[in-house]
Amino acid sequence: MAAPASLRVTNARLHPTPEHGLKTYDLLVEGDRITSLAEAGSRPARIPADVREIDAQGRFLSPPLVDPHVHLDIALTVGQPRHNATGTLIEAIQIWSELKPSLTVDEVKARALEVIRWEVAQGTGFIRSHVDVCDPNLTAVRALSELRREVKEDGVLSFPQGKELMREAMRLGCEVVGGIPHYEWTREDGIEEVRFIFDLAQELGAPVDLHCDETDDEQSRFLEHVAAHTMRRGMQGRVVAGHTTAMASYNDNYAFKLIQILRRAGVTIVANPLDNIVLQGRFDTYPKRRGVTRVKELDAAGINVACGHDSVMDPCYPLGRGSMIDALSMLVHVAQMTGRDELFRAYEMVSCNPARGAGRPASIEEGACASFVIFDCDDEVDAIRLRPPALAVVREGRVVARTEPARTRIFRQDREEPVTFTPAHSERPHHQHQGGNPN
Ligand SMILES: [Zn+2]
């Protein structure tokens, strides 16, 4: 494959902006690497003749966003074969089981690819997809393996030949072992499932990423088994648990103990606030629980916390457009992370934290892989507030997506005025109004 042409990005504000302040930077990308990173205009970089230029005009340059938890096999099936009238998880699972027998490899691939296109266009550089293995034909596994990635829905033990299907799925190209212990018929089966997942992961040398305790039942406590297996088997840093919404209903005493062992085990927790804010608390009247895991407390305890999109237009969640910034916006609201520092910490949950959880840390520095996004906004907080378009998405040195920002005007007293959604007093490094178009 031919090496990508070189690329020069000028006048970009850099993540993390609390560290870099209002300074802007110039980056030179050669091949798939960042070969120079210096304060804007401070050092005339050696510029290759064929360089492609992007003037960021003071906009925010971020590491690629990461979606650590999405279900590409079920994405975009909303309305097939029918819509979810109650909006509950129980009806969603019923609808999915009605659709599953009619899946074909080509159709699953087409839907998954469409969602990948949406995510990439909005700045996502890495996606980890779960896939349902409870289908005797493993149609979705075959489809996503051709496209790529990971595992699981329905209890492994409670589904006929669940264990054999898991092994077959791994043979077909899944890279990570998943599971869903709280869907087993009994608590004991759930504990046995967790053991099986870790046995299989150890046998194959694969990491683990399972759905865990996605319920409002405060008796659902499989996460402690996940943490214990992680420590006993020396798998610290290679285990991810998704949802863990029951934690929102645990008593504080038990939650405290659990958080201590999760930290020792180095388990990454992935919250999925778009789905869980609508699916959890569904059996409650009032007061109604939020049902999203203890994001703020886990983060404060030093646990690696990330945020996933989870569903995109499927029976569980009929909305969504594959935007990690949308998921982050919901997370910030539901987890009440609107303190100044908390907003910046939350941004890490869709960028650096999930990258670390998947064993793919990313950074913007000389010598690092040239993968990044330029958002049409000033910084991390503005990214959450404005949910701006990704002006340019660069992957391994190549521009893989561009978006032209919208221009908004109002007409007042016979005049046309731009609307920027940014207050006039804001300290923009380059006073360009929203809707400017870095070429
Ligand atoms: Zn999920």
Confidence of residue 187 (pLDDT cuts 50, 70, 90): very high
Q: Does the active-site annotation cover 380?
A: no
| Res 278 pLDDT > 70 | yes
Q: Of 304, 311, 310, 293, nearest to 69 (Cα)?
A: 310
pLDDT number for residue 3: 53
Half-sphere exposure of 147 (CA within 13 A, CB side): 26
Distance 366 CA to ligand 1 centre (A): 36
| Secondary structure percentages of the chain, helix, strand, coil, to 5 | 35, 20, 45
Distance in angstroms (rounded) separating the CA atoms of residues 56 and 424: 20
pLDDT in tens, 336-376: 999 999 999 999 999 999 999 998 888 999 999 999 999 99
- Answer for the pair 246, 291: CB distance below 8 angstroms, yes or no: no
67-76, 110-119, 144-153, 354-363 — which is least confidently predicted?
144-153
Distance 85 CA to ligand 1 centre (A): 20
- Point out the catalytic residue in the list 214, 218, 348, 380: 214
How far from each other are the two terminal CA atoms of the chain, in whole angstroms?
Answer: 27
pLDDT in tens, 424-433: 877 665 444 4
For residue 22, give both structure tokens.
Answer: 């209002």
Q: At how many degrees (to 10) do helices 252-265 and 223-232 cross? A: 30
Distance in angstroms (rounded) separating the CA atoms of residues 227 and 239: 9
Distance 284 CA to ligand 1 centre (A): 22
- Answer for the pair 235, 256: CB distance below 8 angstroms, yes or no: no
Strand order in the sheet with 239-243: 208-212, 239-243, 268-271, 305-307
Positions of E strands within 136-198: none
Distance in angstroms (rounded) separating the CA atoms of residues 252 and 358: 29
Q: Which domains does the chain have, with CATH numbers?
A: 7-63+363-418 (2.30.40.10), 66-357 (3.20.20.140)
Distance 420 CA to ligand 1 centre (A): 36
pTM: 0.93
Cα 384–Cα 291–Cα 318 angle in degrees, nearest 5: 65
Distance 66 CA to ligand 1 centre (A): 15
| Res 149 pLDDT > 50 | no
pLDDT number for residue 147: 79
| Res 43 pLDDT > 70 | no
Phi, psi of 203 (to 5 degrees): -60, -40
* Cβ-based neighbours of 336, under 8 Å, separated by 6 or more: 296
Give the pLDDT mean for 289-300: 97
pLDDT number for residue 157: 62
Give the pLDDT mean for 124-148: 88
Give the pLDDT mean for 373-400: 97
Helix, coil or strand: residue 285:
coil
| Res 241 pLDDT > 90 | yes
Confidence of residue 151 (pLDDT cuts 50, 70, 90): very low
103-107, 158-162, 190-194, 221-225 — which is least confidently predicted?
158-162
Distance 255 CA to ligand 1 centre (A): 22
Give the pLDDT mean for 276-302: 96
| Greater model confidence, 435 or 29 | 29
The helix or strand, by DSSP H or E, that contains position 398, with its residue range, turns out to be strand 398-402
